[in-house]
Amino acid sequence: MKSRTQPAGFPCHVASSAFAEVLPETRHALAGMCREKRYGPGRIVSHEGESTDFIGCIRSGILRMQKTLADGRQHIVGLLFAGDIFGRIFDGPGEFSIEAATEVVVCAFDRARFETLMQSAPDLERAVLLNLLNELDRARDWMLVLSNQKIADRLAGFFLLLASRHAGNGLILGNGPEGLEIRIPISRADLAHLLGTRPESVSRAFHFLEDEGDIRILDPARIVLRDLGALAMRAGEDGIGEISRLGEMVEAARQGPPDGS
């Protein structure tokens, strides 16, 4: 993949998706002010309510964005993958805590310096704006997934979002004759928080979908999507958009897998 051929002078992954469009000079300025941070699973990157002093860009790993409810339960409002930007621009109300779901490496930009750079570099401001638009879309997609009343249907929607939106994040393990094999990057408990339910119901939903023939569970973290159409039907997605792309992806992978089967 061409994204690996970055100059050694770039300590951070500033060529990643979110900053793909910014000018080389802006990218250089970003690289100059970047510090690398690492977090182990479960570590807290940013506390709820506290305003972070840096803007982050994920290099690898997964962060969960969550809110602690009054009764102590936690609800996950979104996952952040490699390339995603997080941290409040303009000290916006950062009402969510951010925790590492896996081993995570992030680029941290000092917020004040980032904002200063943004004012002088319209291309960066544009990139941030586009990133926001993208996040807004993802949030609304989530809302649609959550609008399903049956847990199994929400889970189906989760699978499709995972496969279609996060294809480039190492979650697609390949695809055999049975279908697309993907990796579930978070625990059942986190998945339950994400889908607004309990781990037991998540487990039942997994096995329900397996009994229906829509998926196959290889192990708790690896499953095969056997019938994308059926999953899309359940998820209520109008499908035309998401699924066609997935179909193409499967076809492409079948014709000539880059890694050789």
Instruction: State the nearest-atom distance from the C-beta of 151 to DNA, in Å.
Output: 3
Six-digit token string for 166: 């996060």
Among residues 188, 184, 194, the alpha carbon closest in space to that of 65 is found at 194
**What span, in angstroms and rounded, lies between the C-alpha atoms of 225 and 231?**
8
Question: Is there binding between residue 188 and DNA (CB under 7 A)?
Answer: yes
- Cβ closer to DNA: 72 or 92? 72
Six-digit token string for 150: 């049956």
Chosen from a second copy, DNA, none, partner binding at 257 (C-beta under 5 to 8 Å by type): none
**Helices then strands (H, E): number in the chain?**
8, 12
Chosen from a second copy, DNA, none, partner binding at 170 (C-beta under 5 to 8 Å by type): none
Question: CB of 110 within 8 A of CB of 88?
Answer: no
Question: Is there binding between residue 187 and DNA (CB under 7 A)?
Answer: yes
Cα 147 to Cα 103, 111, 144: the distances in Å are 31, 36, 5
- Cβ closer to DNA: 113 or 216? 216
By the criterion CB under 8 A, which residues form the site for a second copy? 67-71, 73, 75, 77-78, 88-90, 92-93, 95-96, 119, 122, 125-126, 128-130, 132-137, 139-140, 142-144, 146-149, 196-197, 232-233, 236-239, 241
Chosen from DNA, a second copy, none, partner binding at 248 (C-beta under 5 to 8 Å by type): none
